[in-house]
Amino acid sequence: MASDSENAWLQTAANDLNNLLQVISESSSVLEPMCESSPEGMRYFAFLRTSLDRARSVTAQMATRLGGHLHHLSETVIAAAPAHAAPQAARHSTVAIDNPAGTKELILIIDDEALIVAIAKRMLTDAGYRVVTSSEPFQALEIFKQLKDEVDLVILDFTLPIMDGSEVFDALREIKPQVAVMLSSGFAEQEKVRAMLSQGLRGFLPKPYTQEKLLSQVRSTLDAIRGASSMTRRAL
């Protein structure tokens, strides 16, 4: 169940986002007819409509997280979220693992870029790894709660909807302090990355990456974790 502070943050963010969406939508409806004779202008508004749809989807995710109850949220957005959606439901569902018969470690990929996820998943499963994926932070955290004792490594994108990579990293560590996380992104705030490294981040994999680079860094990270665990056991 989401905490009161999390609910308050989501509610404020969703309300602000919804108000902004309404302003942009109303403004574009006025301006778009003025650009009908301009192919470049129409391309811009086509892009704007796509962006608005994406933003509405994110707002709907917020509504779902709060069970469909957000003050001042438009009826259209609330309707997009299941009424009285149960945040706990994901915990009791069966998590789909790609390549469940794989002989190597289980890796959780958290990334909202579908193409990146598909490519990384294929690279890893072809190499024998088992893989779980999520494009949405809260869903990923629910998955990790279920599989925290099985996931060997999390590959985390920095730019995600609702929460950024550093916030997801903190949430993962609250669930399991010794979680192994490797950040992978084409853009990340260097100050936040340095802070994450000081808190136990296992490494950074820049995008785009090749199969060789991905597999090499994943393997070296997992081997380093295993080596550190062995040293700890010997010390005890």
Q: The pTM is what? A: 0.61
**Amino acid identity, position 115:** L
| β-sheet bridge partners, residue 220 | none
Other CB atoms closer than 10 Å to residue 27's CB: what's the count? 11
The answer, yes or no, to whether residue 182 has pLDDT greater than 90, is yes
The answer, yes or no, to whether residue 70 has pLDDT greater than 60, is no
The answer, yes or no, to whether residue 86 has pLDDT greater than 60, is no
CA dist., res. 230 & res. 236, Å (int): 10
CB 175 within 8 A of CB 145: yes
Mean pLDDT of 113-119: 92
Mean pLDDT of 179-208: 89
Q: Between 176 and 79, where is the model more confident?
A: 176
pLDDT value, residue 40: 63
H-helix or E-strand containing 71? none
Cβ within 8 Å of residue 47, ≥6 positions away:
none
141: closest CA among 91, 107, 181?
A: 91
With cut-offs at 50, 70 and 90, classify the pLDDT of residue 90.
Answer: very low
**Amino acid identity, position 140:** A
Q: Between 1 and 153, where is the model more confident?
A: 153
With cut-offs at 50, 70 and 90, classify the pLDDT of residue 125.
Answer: very high
CA dist., res. 139 & res. 152, Å (int): 18
DSSP state of 35: G
Residues of the chain with pLDDT > 90, as a percent, come to 44
Pairing, β 130-134 against β 181-185: unpaired
CA dist., res. 43 & res. 37, Å (int): 11
Which of 71-75, 76-80, 86-90, 175-179 shows the highest mean pLDDT?
175-179
DSSP state of 33: G
The answer, yes or no, to whether residue 19 has pLDDT greater than 60, is yes
The answer, yes or no, to whether residue 78 has pLDDT greater than 60, is no
Mean pLDDT of 14-21: 66
DSSP per-residue codes, 88-100: THHHHSPPP-BST
pLDDT value, residue 69: 45
Mean pLDDT of 205-209: 90
Place of tokens 């509405």: 56
With cut-offs at 50, 70 and 90, classify the pLDDT of residue 186.
Answer: confident
CA dist., res. 124 & res. 113, Å (int): 16
With cut-offs at 50, 70 and 90, classify the pLDDT of residue 14.
Answer: low
**What integer best gives the mean pLDDT of the chain?**
78
Positive/negative CA dihedral, 168, 156, 107, 114: positive
CB 215 within 8 A of CB 184: no
**Amino acid identity, position 172:** L
CA dist., res. 62 & res. 7, Å (int): 9
Least confident of 51-60, 180-189, 200-209, 212-221: 51-60
**Both tokens assigned to 24:** 């942009």
Positive/negative CA dihedral, 146, 149, 151, 156: positive
